[in-house]
Homo-oligomer: A and B are copies of this chain.
């Protein structure tokens, strides 16, 4: 009764093929998976039967037997445009290699992340690609790998975790951004905004701090805010603006923050770059069309995803354990007129 109501004839099984071809199901399986020799004559017959019945192996049954669904599970912390290029490649490469793509966001919540991991595991994904939202699931991730499901971290990584990772050099990127502003003569640079719980963001913050220190700038104007809460970012920055503290530089660490930052600057009639020079993270098609055209740190999310997917697929196919690889991509400073 819970069985799905299917009006038509149900799909053929390997049994049907076997019967029609006059062989055993084992041989059909062998033929399909090239798992042992099958004589040309039988192969021929089987092939015909398959064609005739329009047979396709049932992936669910196969999954039950093999404990693997040929699916890669992708966990991103939040559904934002930033991850689109990533999803694009993962989807494409996965599809090309006959893998499916199971997607879920953790909403920056470690508890939910754990839940999703467990669901993915239960669903027998072949491997997991994820941008971890904290260090909290370190142990779980380790266990998962140990038990044989490869994990590759992308964009964010948990320090010391024995799992592949491909990330941007966030420290350097933020350092470069800050330095660039300093070179432009800015001394009161605000960092919008710092989320101590976020892995990438913390790195960026460190880069910012380091640059400030290296150039002997004492004023550390860090605006603290939970990264993923749109309205909270707005409020935090507005609050800062209301205090009337003077500043002449602004670093926005994500696309979302950049948009909000620019909107508020505009609302407060602050001129860019005369009053405040601004630099954002992530280059988008809009960056050069803004007024003024925005200086950015461009992260190559596409390449990130590409490397990560290749790595993951390699892990899935070659079960032998080799030391985790850690790829770090350099970001690019694109100077436009906002600084």
Contact = CB atoms under 8 A, between A and B. Distances in A.
Contacts of A59: 122-123
20 contacts: A2-B66, A3-B67, A4-B148, A4-B149, A6-B147, A56-B118, A60-B63, A79-B87, A81-B84, A84-B84, A88-B105, A91-B103, A92-B105, A100-B102, A100-B104, A256-B285, A259-B286, A260-B285, A266-B289, A286-B290
A58 interface: yes
Interface in A65-96: 66-69, 71, 79-81, 84, 87-88, 91-92, 95
Given A79-B84, A123-B60, A91 B104 contact: yes
Given A58-B122, A87-B103, 4 more contacts: A2-B66, A56-B122, A59-B123, A60-B67
A263 B288 contact: yes
Q: List 6 A-B pairs, minimum CB-CB distance, nearest first.
A: A291-B291, A259-B285, A286-B286, A79-B88, A4-B67, A81-B81
A112 to B, nearest CB: 9
B100 A101 contact: no
A119 B285 CA distance: 34
Interface of A: 2-8, 56, 58-61, 63-64, 66-69, 71, 79-81, 84, 87-88, 91-92, 95, 100-105, 118-119, 122-124, 146-149, 256, 259-260, 262-263, 266, 284-286, 288-292, 319
A19 to B, nearest CB: 21
A58 B122 CA distance: 6
Contacts of A84: 79-81, 84
A34 to B, nearest CB: 12
A134 to B, nearest CB: 19
B4 A68 contact: yes
A63 B149 CA distance: 21
A174 B88 CA distance: 29
B286 A284 contact: yes
Contacts of A81: 81, 84
B105 A91 contact: yes
A263 B92 CA distance: 28
A145 to B, nearest CB: 10
A51 to B, nearest CB: 16
Contacts of A5: 148, 319
A287 to B, nearest CB: 9
